[in-house]
Structure 1
Amino acid sequence: MSILLEVDNLKISARKDDDSLLPIVKGVSFKVARGEVVALIGESGSGKTTIALSALGYTKPGLEFDGGEVRLEGEDVITMRSDHLRSLRGQRVAYLAQSAAATFNPALTIGEQVTESSVLHGILSKEQAHERAKVLYQALELPDPERLGRRYPHQVSGGQLQRLMAAMALCGKPDLLVLDEPTTALDVTTQIEVLKSFKSVIKQEGSSAIYVTHDLSVVAQIADHIVVLYAGEVQEYGTAEQVVSHPTHDYTRRLMHAVRPPPAAGQGDKTSSEHKRQAPALEVRNITAGYGRKRDGTTTITVLRSVNVSIERGQSIGVIGESGCGKSTLARVMAGLLPPTEGQVLLDGQELNPALAQRSRNELQKIQFVFQMADTALNPKQRIDHILGRPLEFYLGLKGKEKRQRVGELLEMVELPQEFAGRYPEELSGGQKQRVNLARALAASPEVLLCDEVISALDSIVGANVIDLLRRLRQQTGVSFVFISHDLSTVASFADEIVVLYAGRVVEKGSTDRVLSPPYHPYTRLLISSVPELRVGWLEEAMQTQEAQAGIDRLVTLTEIGCPFFDRCPLAIKDTCDQEAPPIRDLGQGHLISCHRPESEFLH
């Protein structure tokens, strides 16, 4: 294969206040052949996105090219004039960002946005562009290609929107695609569909691609070659098979371990038994909740239906499910942010007022929320000592020297230097901000921490470090955790028990080892089978399974009658599963599955 792109001894630096240069990318070299996918992998700050953007002749503000060449078919894009770069971008090289929701304009139709670049560059006429878009919709396995372009972004699912971004990039028939973490924010079942579509259409179109990610298991499914980066330098470079099956560098092995941490099955038993009480630390009984209110007081959209969850003192409960299953809604009900229409929330056996405003300061103190995005959860105008000091004053009445001392202890507890107290959030990395987010919740000395997707925005190594920290904090403090995530591997590495939610109903729950071992509820089996394995060729095998076929392009549908998983279930019984609510079957040792099928017919 001929070489399309050659990155040769690339150096990129940041301009400091004293006008000196700080090296960011330090002599990186690799090649991309025609029709080939090359993956750049590494943790946050490794330089992978900075290097990928160089293929467009672009550097982020504050950075500048400091040496080397980036040659596209022999022409150095670094030294190109701005008018040549404009024609390069969108025509010969196209970029796919991480967030499709942020990329699309909600006021324009999908068709207008997918075709815009190819029409503006004069590559295709409007009519040709719309025909080309339909071909791409079909290639990307999107529903209703003929009419899809007339819809608006909010009228399609997240996974479909991600594939539409690929259609937008490919519409102008570029030679090279730059994909920047395109599946990071997707749940496991959606991710597998998007990966399959991306891989298929790149091969069909004969395009080359640079794929940026921190997840080695994802890379194994789509890349021909892998470049492992750390601190702006290449640590390992080889074929996907070589790097995944026979890594030579310690850092690559660290990435592999962080991607799929070992399960926590039974790990928390000692902790929870040491702190166990007669009454659970937190319990929700028969909770039904949703959004909007009709005149009769019922919800316009009911998200949760008859949900029961109990968390013992010192225990960690993992709540998993796809986007739209009601995980965050359950956490909001527990915290009092969303009053339920039916059911009770109990703290230490005592019923709580359903609404946050009606709860006492003592009750508020005992349940703390750790939000997903530390960037938006932390006030950028306040120093860390002020952020941590507010709950110390509000809940514990600490002031002056006593408060400053406790701020230092909290920073030490989350393994941050005490000098961070004088810093602002913008001066911290993503992982450090999330540690401050945790410290703020711990400042109240809570009994229960509600962690909503707390590591989904972090790379695999930083995320693994945060999980290790949570484990240590649980041992030290005896705090109970409700850990919400769509990442089954992460939940398995931390939780004592797992609650599987689908369409607002509990379909399976039990200890981690029992839920993750057969027999499974069909939906649990789908989630488990959708977690990418760390080997080349897994994707092609996985997409042929019964579970994968059940998962393809099906939205989570909230239903009032029958089993909500009916239209996706490989074990569905017509005129039973679609008409009657499934019974809850007790498989022993607290393992419950909600299904019409007898235990002997469950999936193994």
Structure 2
Amino acid sequence: MNALVDVRQLSVSYRHGNLAVNQLSMTIAQGETLAIVGESGSGKSTLANAILGLLPGSATISAGELWVDGNDLTHASERQRRGLRGRAIGLVPQDPMVSLNPTLRVGQQVAEALILAKGKRYPGVDADIVELLQQVGIAKPVLRARQYPHELSGGMRQRVLIAIALAGNPRLIIADEPTSALDVTVQRKILDHLKRLVSERGISLLIITHDLGVALDRADRVLVMQQGQVVEQGAPRQILGAPQHDYTRALIAAAPAFATRRQPLARPAPTQPPILQLQNVGKTFALPKVKGEDATFVALEDLSLQVYPGQTLAIVGESGSGKSTALRIALGLEKPSRGRVWFEQQDVTDLSWRDFRPLRQRLQLVQQNPFAALDPRFTVFDSIVEPLVSFGLLKGPALEQAARELISRVHLPVSFLDRLPRELSGGQCQRVAIARALALKPDLLLLDEPVSALDVSVQAHILELLQELQRDMGIAYVLVSHDLSVVANFAHEVLVLRNGRVVEQGSVERIFNRPTSDYTRELIGAIPGQHAIASAA
């Protein structure tokens, strides 16, 4: 097999002197799937951007050579690089909500990629849009092409990005954390689809991921990076069965898929009434009018749940199963079409925004993406005290003291209060978001995928912090997570949703060890890394 990508002793440095990639050599053969793993800051994304010709202005290739599809890109012009992007190299970015234009319909965005690849608008573009959406496994492609990104689930948005990457019929696809925000079954379908495309089209695939389970399950070869260098590479079976480097062994030990599952948490005895209660809640959304298609979509149907003080309830299910809709209804951001919502024994179903606002001091949200959740113009101090200022609770020296106490509670130095979000890592940003959520001393935290964007070792620190806060403060959590390994180690109760309906509900121990539903068994069976474990055994 000829090398499609040939990197020879490549070094990439940033203006402030940081060497992000240090004398790295690697190849990608035609039709090969290579996975690059490593923690944040290891140089994975810098290497991918160098291959794409998308390094920022502050970065330069300071040494070595970079060849892609027979072209030397080491010192190529922007015009030469642009000629390869889309046609020779396609990119599937990490965050579909950031990567897709929220003001354009899905079909328009796929059309842009097709027109760029073909050079001009052509008569068959509409048919090609539908065909591409079908190729990536999107049902009802005509309807989806007319919708906006926010009207699609996370898995559908990720498939749209794959369709855009395929529009130029590239020889290499770079998938940058393509499944980090997706549920396990959707993750498996996306990766299965990418594998099938690689096989059918002879495409090479470069997977950039912090999920060692995904890398070992899906790649022909795995490359482990640390501080800009390759510390180990080899076949998945070799990496998992006989890792040579201490860093690789530490990554494997921190990965939930390969860690020994600890004893399930016993649910605290409910000595008080439930803090949150949803009774027979349903939610129906109107859809764009398309001939022959349904006019409405049922997101939730007859959902009932209770959350008690000091308890963690996890809601799991595929993308589009209604998890986020349930959170929005609990927060009062959506009104249920049917059923009632109770918070601390008060019926809050029909409260106006103004009447619901005082209750927001008692329940807070920790969002999925820590970088998107913080205002980039605010210092850490401004972000943490924002709820206190908004409700007019503190000012002056008392406000500064509260900020110092909150940042200390999430185990960050007080000196970080003067920093901006861009000066923090993903894990540090998530700690700031948790500190902000704690500012009003809430009784209930809603955690929407709080660790999915973080490296496995950072995930462990954040989850330990949340458990410590629960022990110390008696906070109740509702956790929405696609990572069942996280759920198994963090939650007391599990509720499984599918197509807006409850499939089953029970303790962590029962759900994971004695599931009654085929769907639950499918979710557990889709946890990444199990194929690699079986192969290495």
TM exceeds 0.5? Answer: yes
Q: Distance in 1 between matches of 2:145 and 2:487?
A: 39
Residue 115 of structure 1 is matched in structure 2 by 114
Q: Distance in 2 between matches of 1:144 and 1:506?
A: 25
Contact 2:106 2:146 in 1 (8 A): no
Residue 545 of structure 1 is matched in structure 2 by none
Q: Distance in 1 between matches of 2:391 and 2:160?
A: 48
Q: Which has the larger radius of gyration?
A: 1
What's the RMSD between the two structures over aligned residues? 3.4
2:187 aligned with 1:183: no
Residue 384 of structure 1 is matched in structure 2 by 380
* Structure 1 residue corresponding to 2:255, chosen from 254, 258, 264: 258
Task: Tell me how many residue pairs correspond in the alignment.
Answer: 521
1:286-305 correspondence to structure 2 within 5 Å: 286-290=280-284, 302-305=298-301
- The offset of 1:350, in angstroms, is 4.5
Contact 2:265 2:508 in 1 (8 A): no
- Please list the CA deviations of residues 43-76 of structure 1 after superposition, one character each: whole Å capped at 9, or x if unmatched: 2222111101222333123211111111236653
2:481 aligned with 1:489: no
Q: Distance in 2 between matches of 1:534 and 1:115?
A: 37
1:299-314 correspondence to structure 2 within 5 Å: 302-314=298-310
Residue 285 of structure 1 is matched in structure 2 by 279
- In structure 2, do the counterparts of structure 1 residues 334 and 66 end up closer, same or farther at CA, with 3 Å as the change threshold? same
Contact 1:110 1:151 in 2 (8 A): no
* Structure 2 residue corresponding to 1:325, chosen from 313, 318, 321: 321
* Structure 2 residue corresponding to 1:448, chosen from 444, 448, 456: 444
1:185 counterpart letter in structure 2 = A
Residue 364 of structure 1 is matched in structure 2 by 360
- In structure 2, do the counterparts of structure 1 residues 132 and 242 end up closer, same or farther at CA, with 3 Å as the change threshold? farther
2:226 aligned with 1:233: no
1:281 counterpart letter in structure 2 = I
2:508 counterpart letter in structure 1 = T
Residue 83 of structure 1 is matched in structure 2 by 79
- The offset of 1:417, in angstroms, is 0.6
Residue 265 of structure 2 is matched in structure 1 by 267
Q: Distance in 1 between matches of 2:531 and 2:363?
A: 41
2:501 counterpart letter in structure 1 = R
- In structure 2, do the counterparts of structure 1 residues 162 and 324 end up closer, same or farther at CA, with 3 Å as the change threshold? closer
2:523 aligned with 1:527: yes
- The offset of 1:81, in angstroms, is 3.5
- In structure 2, do the counterparts of structure 1 residues 250 and 110 end up closer, same or farther at CA, with 3 Å as the change threshold? same
More displaced 10-residue stretch of structure 1: 330-339 or 164-173 = 164-173
More displaced 10-residue stretch of structure 1: 205-214 or 128-137 = 128-137
Q: Distance in 1 between matches of 2:282 and 2:70?
A: 63
Residue 106 of structure 1 is matched in structure 2 by 105
5+ residue gaps in structure 1? 294-298, 540-604
2:19 aligned with 1:23: yes
2:232 counterpart letter in structure 1 = E
2:330 aligned with 1:334: yes
Contact 1:353 1:359 in 2 (8 A): no
Residue 3 of structure 2 is matched in structure 1 by 3
Q: Distance in 1 between matches of 2:159 and 2:357?
A: 47
Residue 346 of structure 1 is matched in structure 2 by 342
Q: Distance in 1 between matches of 2:110 and 2:392?
A: 56
| Local SS of the residue matching 1:535 | helix
| Local SS of the residue matching 2:18 | strand
- The offset of 1:494, in angstroms, is 0.8
| Local SS of the residue matching 1:5 | strand
* Structure 1 residue corresponding to 2:63, chosen from 62, 67, 73: 67
- The offset of 1:391, in angstroms, is 3.4
The structure with higher relative contact order (CA 8 Å, sep 6+) is 2
Residue 291 of structure 2 is matched in structure 1 by none
Contact 2:282 2:299 in 1 (8 A): yes
- Please list the CA deviations of residues 455-514 of structure 1 after superposition, one character each: whole Å capped at 9, or x if unmatched: 233333323321121112112211111111222222222100001122332221110010
Residue 423 of structure 2 is matched in structure 1 by 427
Q: TM-score, normalised by structure 1?
A: 0.77
| Local SS of the residue matching 2:411 | coil
1:407 counterpart letter in structure 2 = A
Q: TM-score, normalised by structure 2?
A: 0.86
Q: Distance in 1 between matches of 2:108 and 2:65?
A: 39
* Structure 2 residue corresponding to 1:210, chosen from 182, 206, 211: 206
- In structure 2, do the counterparts of structure 1 residues 264 and 479 end up closer, same or farther at CA, with 3 Å as the change threshold? farther
| Local SS of the residue matching 1:508 | strand
5+ residue gaps in structure 2? 288-294
- Please list the CA deviations of residues 257-314 of structure 1 after superposition, one character each: whole Å capped at 9, or x if unmatched: 3343554654254xx34xx533223323333345579xxxxx9755333322122221
- The offset of 1:319, in angstroms, is 0.9
- In structure 2, do the counterparts of structure 1 residues 496 and 262 end up closer, same or farther at CA, with 3 Å as the change threshold? farther
Q: Distance in 1 between matches of 2:324 and 2:461?
A: 23
* Structure 1 residue corresponding to 2:189, chosen from 181, 189, 193: 193
Q: Distance in 1 between matches of 2:418 and 2:472?
A: 26
Residue 549 of structure 1 is matched in structure 2 by none
Q: Distance in 1 between matches of 2:513 and 2:147?
A: 41
| Local SS of the residue matching 2:65 | strand
Contact 1:244 1:534 in 2 (8 A): no
Contact 2:110 2:163 in 1 (8 A): no
Residue 597 of structure 1 is matched in structure 2 by none
| Local SS of the residue matching 1:516 | helix
State percent identity of aligned pairs.
35
